Amino acid sequence: MTRPKFRQLAALLLLPLLLQGCSNYSQLADTQSQPANFPDSFYLQAEPNQVYRIDSQFSQIIVTVRRGGLMARLGHDHIVASNHVQGIIYLDRENQRCRAQLFVPLNILEVDNLQLRSAADMTTKPSAADIEGTTSNMLKSIEVEKFPFAQLHSQDCSGALNGQPVPVTLSIHGVSQNRSLNISLQQPDEAQLFISGDFAILQTDFGIEPFSIMNGLIKVQDRLHLSFQLRAQQTQP
């Protein structure tokens, strides 16, 4: 087989590189819209002026997925974004108390937004078929129908008020892991909060096998980089 034909065959086999996924919303419209434990009763009993809800319209989580393997050049890096972050935060600045409960519905993530790819300096240009293949394999790997949400809980996020690490519990794919994250929390006025930060995870830590084909010659790297920019609005009494 000539080298050009081999490359064409490899490219056809390689289409999907995975991560955390996107799909047609109508496909999973009958699934639950939020986790069964959201929100925790603590937030329902707190003073309304100390409770803030994530404003999804102005919030985003971005996951950067890198290609790997000896034939990585035939694949694509990927950007997966959530524009539907949901969550609730309790903040009592006077007593330096903070709690948070967030979740992301995984069935409506956006894969390879062109503007986000450009901002991340990704030079390859996946086709619509590439993106569709990536999405399909991603959803299978994360078993989205069985595990429809990624969740984050923090029983004490007060460290974000003064630059200290914040202990959190991440729950993905039915696995919960305790982590310590650097999170920035800004409060320009009483009515809103701005939360930002970034961190990395390994898919295998959460029981997800990174997608690969051709005996691993083309694969998704285990390590994923996540960044987030969130805005939360004070609830009304």
d(CA 100, CA 189): 19
Amino acid symbol at 100 = A
Reference 142, options 60, 96, 193, 208; nearest CA is: 208
Residue-range domains of the chain with CATH: 3-234 (2.40.128.110)
Query: Which residues of the chain, if any, have pLDDT below 50?
Result: 1-31
State the chain's mean pLDDT as an integer: 83
pLDDT of residue 119: 92
User: Which residues, at least 6 apart from 160, have a Cβ–Cβ distance to it below 8 Å?
Assistant: 98, 166, 183, 184, 185, 195
pTM: predicted TM-score of the whole model, two decimal places = 0.80
- pLDDT, tens digit (0-9, with 9 covering 90-100), for 38-56: 999 999 999 999 999 999 9
